[in-house]
Amino acid sequence: MPLSSDVTAFCRKFAKELAEGTAAIFAGAGLSASAGFVNWRQLLEPFATELGLSVDKESDHLVRFAQYSQNYKGGNRAHLNEALITAFPSLASPAINHQILARLPIQTFWTTNYDKLIETALVDARKTPDVKHTDSQLPITKPKRDAVVYKMHGDVDRPQEAVLTRDDYEAYAQKHIGFVNALVGDLTGKTFLFIGFSFSDPNLDQVLTQLRLRYQSGQREHYCFVRIPDSNDFKNNEDFIYAKARHRHFVNDLKRYNVTTLEISDYSEITEALSAIERLYRRRLIFVSGSASDFAPWGESAVNAFFRDLGAILIDNDFQIVTGFGLGVGNSLISGAIEKAYSRKNLRLDNFLQVRPFPRDIADPMQRAVIWKKYREELLSLPGIALFLFGNKLENDQIVPADGVRKEFEIARMQGVEVLPVGATGSMAATLAVEILKEPSGLSPTVIDALTRLNEKVTDIKMLLQPITDALKALAAE
């Protein structure tokens, strides 16, 4: 199902927030439900019979329901602690939404969930999470962390401290003032996307109210996914009409806190939206693959000037360059990029250039092949578009196609990177362009048009700069 225009516009905006380092996630029970975990209602349902109550009828008052259950046990909550341990096993695997979020450069995660899915997904993505589930952990910074995960309601490993009952919620602002202050700060300075969150949490209500009273009409805009009521979910039309009215008022009420709702018809659209965000973000990162020992027909001087101009153009258009510093092309490419970057004020070089030269001092050919393969896979996990130029090398005094360029091409396709071989530069790039254009099925019209233009011979190599720029800008906007 295609995303709505509102959701599509949001995806573009959030991708920019990612690039600027101001994006944050607030995860509710709905995100964990996608991994097969129970929600609050399901967690408390086993205790309904002994209370003589219905979880469905109390669905708007589950915090109070948990308090009733503790009261029924004479103030003992051991049964609730045990339910947490059983419901959220530590070894559970993250769902696809967790995996996408973990791959993105998100530095701040907030959650009311007790499970370990977010931090597990981050570790799986080879990142270092700094997990905070007690106030005493807040002043401690984990070295070389990639993201902070604030578990404001606690962790399954310490169920006795988890925020569960009405007593816990009423004492929250006093017992966990560190979390409250940290959340206020992040909601003030970052753009949040709420996923799987119902906005029924009294702690968050207090924080949002505090921000509304402090900033009034100047509040930062945040976003949340909300599923539109479906008639198939209701036993009769009267309940459906009531749900639609309630939904309308809920959406309008969130506007008081400058929370914009992203209405979806099915929860699978969340995955589609997150995938679109990842694609849009990654397509600002361009992997440049190529090597050259033979610069015909233009000559080494002209080719070097071309790559200098290409590096400068990529920076000028706010692309980030990822390169393995290919022989004969890498030096000129990064020289042009660095020169352009330093000509722009207030620009951090590491935000626009990632240079990863290949480790060449490995004597054992088999070991070198294994390491280079892994190295290429890691390099190509970053960008959304890969440019392939030239692709030849000197071997035994003969000019031969560069097999490394083909390997990078194959890894790129395997990892879902959009590939653009510039066939006009000849060598391996020409071979790859012909192969793709022979079987264009599955390619978008934008890609086919770009490949066709980039395969046309030119008398001056600088004539390729404009079509390359046009192709990258068109793909980055898709």
Would you please indicate which residues are annotated as catalytic (active-site) residues?
Answer: 153
Q: What angle do CA 161, 165, 171 make, to 5 degrees?
A: 70
- Residue 457: C-alpha distances to residues 276, 389, 397, 430 (Å): 34, 13, 27, 10
Q: Which residues of 6-30 are buried (b: 16+ CB within 10 A; e: fewer)?
A: ebeebbebbbbbbbeebbbbbbbbb
The conformation of residue 267, written as its DSSP 8-state character, comes to T
Q: What is the DSSP string of 99-154?
A: HHHHHS---EEEE---SSHHHHHHHHTT--EEEE-SGGGTT---TT-SEEEEETT-
The position carrying tokens 């600002």 is 284
Task: Based on DSSP, count helices (H) and strands (E) in the chain, helices before strands.
Answer: 21, 14
**Distance from C-alpha of 326 to C-alpha of 14, rounded to nearest angstrom:** 33
Using CA atoms, how far residue 186 sits from 144, 179, 192, 226, in Å, is 20, 10, 9, 22
- Which residues have a Cβ under 8 Å from the Cβ of 390 and sit 6 or more positions away? 290, 291, 292, 295, 303, 328, 329, 402, 405, 425, 426, 427, 428, 429
* 385 contacts 475 by C-beta, under 8 angstroms: yes
Q: Structure tokens of 148?
A: 């902070």
Exposure b/e, 344-377, CB count within 10 A at least 16 = b? eeeeeeeebbbeeebeeeeeeeeebeeebeebbe
**Cβ atoms 289, 388 nearer than 8 A:** yes
Pairing outcome for strands 385-390 and 320-323: unpaired
Distances (CA, A) of 7 to 33, 193, 279, 440: 22, 12, 14, 29
- Mode of pairing for the β-strands spanning 320-323 and 222-227: unpaired
What are residue 111's DSSP bridge partners?
A: 27, 151
Q: How far is CA 255 from the centre of its chain?
A: 25
57 token code pair: 């009828």
CB 412, CB 436: distance < 8 Å: no
Q: CA–CA distance from 23 to each of 130, 201, 218, 328, 362 (Å)?
A: 17, 22, 18, 38, 40
- Give the residue ranges of DSSP H helices in 233-348: 237-254, 268-282, 300-316, 330-343
